């Protein structure tokens, strides 16, 4: 199926210039030398002109575009890296802003393949040290195996970066020429964005053509060698650059009930609450962090299948435990069927927040499922419903999760700004725990 470029472009909305003004660190992941110039040449210049620190990681060595006696693979790899340095120079980037991972061209390890984990560890280290606010990566289904592997690599590496939630833009390369029907993105309104680059078009053109091995007959002894056609290059010299900011990779809305019902319908304990050593230790730390005393009326937000509920009930005269998944609640009810001091409520916050006041509220691994707007609404409901001297316990995973609108740290920072006293805090390798008290 031919990709309808005209229809694709016409649906795009202009990039918010204020957003670009606020980006101080940007990382571009390029599978091959030339992807950076084709997809992002104008954006690179625009960000640099705004004072942004832009860095580029090249994933492969580019050594398989030709099979030449004059340029065997090692010499071709060296040539293409040199070309990329020249191209970046036209865009305003110095050589020290470029790093190379040296995977073999057209054989970059994909998820599950040998070598993928080592690349993930390397990218994790680079992400952790730089913490780019904006990351450019090939579109998830861009029709080239190295482009798809680069997308997979980013999300594997992000999983272990704490206190971090970047904006991710996907760029198309081979989508324009080689897309099958299943490759073409089904975008919602506003997910496709464009940047006007007319003022930077000349330098972008120079950068693209600095990749002479890909744009000319420089390598003349391989008639079947790869060369970018003028038509292909023309896709990237229209005066606009296109990026996808998909909700799938940049979730902003509160996760729906259907999201959780789907999880529990395919796995009765999707986070291994009953068997995980991590969960067992975290639950013990959560209960131990609650100040001594019996709590007359308590609320557990997000009880899931009731493992923590059972432990909390020993500290409460009456406990209301709520969850957005009816499937999870059925298992929680079964677990607690003989305890009359626990009431289960089907619903999510903030829309289904229960009435009344509480001496103790526990929210464990829930806040990052909410949009920022809904989290602020929930914060107001929680703080207003706490009785004088009431206790709030927050516990959240601190690593990046692509599906979640917020990070665990964002949730805790939000409550740190509330009119509550912080009485206890602890950060482990994978989660943080904070305890707040309402003034009398």
Task: Answer for the pair 146, 60: CB distance below 8 angstroms, yes or no.
Answer: yes
pLDDT (0 to 100) of residue 161: 87
pLDDT (0 to 100) of residue 179: 81
Alpha-carbon dihedral sign for residues 44, 153, 16, 376: negative
**Which pLDDT band, with edges at 50, 70 and 90, does 72 fall under?**
very high
Portion of the chain with pLDDT greater than 90, in percent: 88
Residue 202 in this model has a pLDDT that exceeds 60: yes
Burial 29-43 (b: 16+ CB within 10 A, else e): bbbbbbbbbbbbbbb
Compute how many other C-beta atoms are within 10 angstroms of the C-beta atom of residue 329: 22
> What residue ranges define each of the domains in the chain, with the CATH number in brackets?
5-244 (3.40.50.10320), 257-437 (3.40.50.150)
pLDDT (0 to 100) of residue 4: 75
Mean pLDDT rounded to a whole number for the chain: 95
Instruction: Say whether 98 sits in a helix, a strand or coil.
Output: strand
Residue 223 in this model has a pLDDT that exceeds 60: yes
Residue 1 in this model has a pLDDT that exceeds 60: no
pLDDT tens, 282-334? 999 999 999 998 899 999 999 999 999 999 999 999 999 999 999 999 999 99
**Phi, psi (deg, nearest 5) at residue 242:** -120, 135
pLDDT tens, 248-285? 999 989 999 999 999 999 998 889 999 999 999 999 99
Mean pLDDT across the stretch 218-229? 95
Tokens (6 digits) for 216: 């000319």
pLDDT (0 to 100) of residue 198: 96
- Please give the C-alpha separations between residue 309 and each of 250, 277, 305, 365, in angstroms, as whole numbers: 32, 17, 8, 13
Q: How far apart are the C-alpha atoms of 376 and 365, rounded to whole Å?
A: 16
Helix residue ranges, H only, 352-398:
372-385
Tokens (6 digits) for 295: 């709590």
Mean pLDDT across the stretch 336-358? 94
**Which pLDDT band, with edges at 50, 70 and 90, does 3 fall under?**
low
In this predicted structure, which of 100-104, 262-266, 343-347, 384-388 has the lowest mean pLDDT?
Answer: 262-266
pLDDT (0 to 100) of residue 371: 95
Task: Answer for the pair 171, 138: CB distance below 8 angstroms, yes or no.
Answer: yes
The CA radius of gyration of the chain, in Å to the nearest whole number, is: 26
CA 206 to chain centre: 33
pLDDT (0 to 100) of residue 413: 95
pLDDT (0 to 100) of residue 265: 92
pLDDT (0 to 100) of residue 2: 62
pTM to 2 decimal places:
0.81
**Which pLDDT band, with edges at 50, 70 and 90, does 176 fall under?**
confident
Backbone dihedral region of 112: left (phi > 0), alpha (psi from -120 to 50 degrees) or beta? left
pLDDT tens, 239-256? 999 999 999 999 989 999
Residue 21 in this model has a pLDDT that exceeds 60: yes
Residue 364 in this model has a pLDDT that exceeds 70: yes
Mean pLDDT across the stretch 57-79? 97
pLDDT (0 to 100) of residue 8: 78
């Amino acid at each position: 199926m031919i990709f309808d470029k005209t229809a694709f472009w016409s649906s795009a909305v202009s990039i918010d210039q204020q957003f670009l003004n606020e980006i101080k660190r940007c990382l571009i992941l390029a599978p091959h030398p030339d992807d950076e110039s084709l997809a992002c040449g104008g954006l690179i210049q625009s960000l640099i002109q705004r004072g942004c620190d832009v860095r580029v990681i090249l994933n492969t060595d580019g050594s398989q575009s030709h099979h030449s006696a004059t340029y065997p693979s090692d010499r071709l790899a060296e040539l293409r890296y040199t070309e990329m340095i020249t191209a970046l120079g036209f865009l305003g980037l110095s050589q020290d802003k470029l790093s190379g991972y040296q995977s073999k061209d057209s054989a970059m390890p994909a998820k599950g393949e040998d070598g993928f984990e080592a690349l993930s560890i390397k990218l994790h280290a680079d992400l952790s040290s730089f913490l780019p606010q904006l990351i450019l990566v090939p579109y998830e289904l861009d029709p080239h195996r190295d482009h798809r592997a680069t997308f997979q690599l980013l999300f594997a590496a992000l999983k272990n970066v704490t206190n971090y939630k970047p904006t991710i833009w996907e760029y198309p390369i081979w989508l324009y020429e080689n897309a099958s029907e299943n490759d073409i993105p089904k975008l919602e309104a506003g997910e496709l964005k464009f940047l006007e680059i007319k003022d930077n078009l000349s330098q972008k053109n120079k950068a693209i053509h600095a990749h002479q091995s890909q744009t000319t007959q420089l390598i003349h002894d391989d008639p079947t060698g790869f060369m970018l056609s003028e038509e292909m290059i023309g896709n990237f010299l229209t005066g606009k650059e296109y990026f996808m900011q998909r909700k799938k990779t940049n979730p902003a809305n509160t996760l729906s009930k259907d999201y959780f019902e789907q999880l529990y319908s395919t796995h009765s304990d999707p986070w291994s609450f009953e068997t995980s050593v991590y969960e067992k230790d975290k639950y013990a730390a959560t209960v131990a962090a609650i100040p001594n005393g019996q709590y007359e009326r308590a609320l557990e937000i997000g009880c899931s299948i009731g493992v923590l509920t059972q432990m909390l009930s020993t500290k409460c005269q009456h406990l209301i435990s709520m969850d957005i998944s009816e499937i999870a609640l059925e298992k929680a009810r079964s677990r607690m069927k003989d305890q009359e001091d626990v009431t289960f409520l089907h619903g999510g916050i903030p829309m289904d927040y229960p009435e009344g006041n509480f001496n103790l509220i526990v929210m464990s691994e829930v806040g990052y499922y909410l949009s920022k707007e809904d989290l602020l609404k929930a914060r107001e409901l929680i703080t207003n419903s706490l009785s004088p001297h009431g206790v709030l316990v927050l516990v959240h995973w601190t690593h990046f999760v692509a599906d979640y609108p917020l990070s665990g740290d964002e949730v805790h920072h939000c409550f740190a700004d509330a009119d509550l006293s912080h009485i206890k805090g602890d950060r482990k390798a994978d989660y943080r725990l904070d305890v707040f008290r309402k003034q009398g």
